[in-house]
């Protein structure tokens, strides 16, 4: 019995040593680096789907046009949702800072606690300006379909989507500059 327990002990000890050696070079990354990586992937994905959409449009493949347009718009929606959450978080934190300046101690704010943003208010911060531009572009593409028989209209639409890509790349460049 003792022999089996000793054998089991050494097996566990040996397996733990092997598991610890499995990933010796793994390095944890900071939240800022993770955010930068995520944003980089999102911008690359949007750019790739937009390029695929343009290629499908040039080939006049209506099936692929619909698929890639959907992917581009989904990527745009995701970016808008992230910006909306970011703006709500900043607004909630600003409200909490005002409260804290009165001497009250409280926990960090959640986005749900943010005051509702007035849709008619002027955008003042770069994030608000990006949010508005993306929201207006998304609204323009709701119930939209690229028609290969109308290349003039498509050129205008592609210019709008290219502008969104420039906005996303500028935001990524700002994020890289902060790091």
pLDDT at 143: 82
Per the domain annotation, does 115 fall within a domain?
yes
Contacts of 33 (CB under 8 A, 6+ apart): 179
Residue-range definition of the domain harbouring residue 61: 31-178
Per the domain annotation, does 112 fall within a domain?
yes
- Closest to 167 (Cα-Cα) out of 90, 79, 86, 84: 79
Q: What is the dihedral of CA 10, 12, 14, 17, to 10 degrees?
A: -140
pLDDT at 158: 94
Per the domain annotation, does 68 fall within a domain?
yes
Q: How far, rounded to the nearest angstrom, does the alpha carbon of residue 80 sit from its chain's CA centroid?
A: 8
Q: Which residue positions in the chain have pLDDT lower than 50?
A: none
CB 48 within 8 A of CB 68: no
CA separation for the pair 159, 122 (Å, rounded) = 24
Per the domain annotation, does 12 fall within a domain?
no
CB 88 within 8 A of CB 111: yes
Per the domain annotation, does 38 fall within a domain?
yes
Q: How many domains in the chain?
A: 1
Per the domain annotation, does 14 fall within a domain?
no
Which residue has 């607004």 as its token pair?
91
Per the domain annotation, does 9 fall within a domain?
no
pLDDT in tens, 5-43: 556 665 755 666 556 555 556 678 888 888 889 999 999
- Closest to 172 (Cα-Cα) out of 76, 32, 48, 39: 39
CA separation for the pair 127, 135 (Å, rounded) = 12
Q: What CATH number is associated with residue 141?
A: 1.20.120
Q: How far, rounded to the nearest angstrom, does the alpha carbon of residue 95 sit from its chain's CA centroid?
A: 25
Element housing 143 (H / E): none
Per the domain annotation, does 8 fall within a domain?
no
């Amino acid at each position: 019995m003792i022999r089996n327990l000793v054998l089991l002990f050494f097996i566990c000890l040996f397996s733990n040593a092997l598991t610890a050696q499995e990933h010796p070079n793994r390095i944890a990354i900071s939240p800022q680096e993770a955010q930068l990586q995520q944003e980089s992937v999102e911008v690359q994905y949007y750019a790739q789907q937009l390029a695929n959409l343009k290629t499908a449009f040039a080939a006049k493949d209506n099936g692929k046009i619909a698929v890639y347009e959907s992917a581009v718009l989904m990527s745009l929606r995701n970016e808008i949702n992230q910006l909306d959450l970011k703006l709500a978080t900043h607004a909630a934190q600003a409200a909490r800072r005002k409260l804290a300046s009165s001497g009250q101690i409280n926990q960090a704010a959640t986005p749900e606690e943010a005051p509702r943003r007035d849709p008619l208010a002027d955008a003042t911060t770069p994030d608000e300006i990006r949010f508005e531009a993306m929201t207006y572009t998304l609204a323009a593409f709701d119930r939209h379909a690229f028609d290969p028989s109308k290349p003039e209209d498509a050129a205008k639409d592609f210019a709008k989507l290219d502008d969104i890509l420039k906005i996303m790349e500028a935001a990524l460049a700002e994020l890289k500059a902060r790091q």
